[in-house]
Amino acid sequence: MNIKIVLRYTDGRILKGSTYDFSPVRQRFHFGPINSSDDPIEVTMRELKAVFFVKDFEGNPSYKERKDFTEGDQTYGQKVEVTFADGERLVGTTTSYDLERLGFFLFPVDQKSNNIRVFVVSTAVSNVRIL
C-alpha cells in the first residue's frame, strides 16, 4: 500500500509522492514522486526536516492551521511545540519524543489540518517545548 507523503528537506526542497516502506527507525526509505513513472528513489533521513503524512496533495492553501490547544481537544500523549532550525513551528502531541532517536511522530493539534501526522527528524529540530 502506498502512503501519501510530502518530504520537506533541510535545504528547503519539497517533494510530494508516496512511500511503501517508511520506518521511523531506519535511515533510508523509498519514495515515488507523484506524476512520475520512474522507479522510486531512495531517501536518506539525514537530508530531511520532516515527513508529512497527508490527506491529499493539494490541501487548502488559504486555511490557517490552529497552533494552540483549546478546551475539548481530544489529545493522546504529550503536548509539544516543535521549532525547527528554519523557524517553522508545529504544535501537537507525541507518544515517542526522544531527541536521541532518529525522530518522532507528531500529531497536529488541529484535526482539520491536511497533515495526518508528521515524522519530525531530530537533527532538524532547534527546540522542543513541553506544553
Q: How many structural domains compose the chain? A: 1
Residue that has been written with the C-alpha cell 502531541 in this structure: 93
CATH of the domain at 30: 2.30.30.100
Q: How far is residue 84's CA from residue 71's CA, in Å, rounded to a whole number?
A: 26
Q: What confidence category does residue 122 fall into, taking pLDDT thresholds of 50, 70 and 90?
A: very high
Residue 103 has pLDDT above 70, yes or no: yes
Per-residue model confidence as pLDDT tens digits over 67-101: 888 887 778 899 999 999 999 999 999 998 888 89
What domain range is 97 assigned to?
3-56+65-130
* Mean pLDDT rounded to a whole number for the chain: 92
Residue-wise DSSP of 20-64: S---TT-SEEEEEETT--SPPEEEEGGGEEEEEEES-SS--TT--
d(CA 26, CA 29): 7
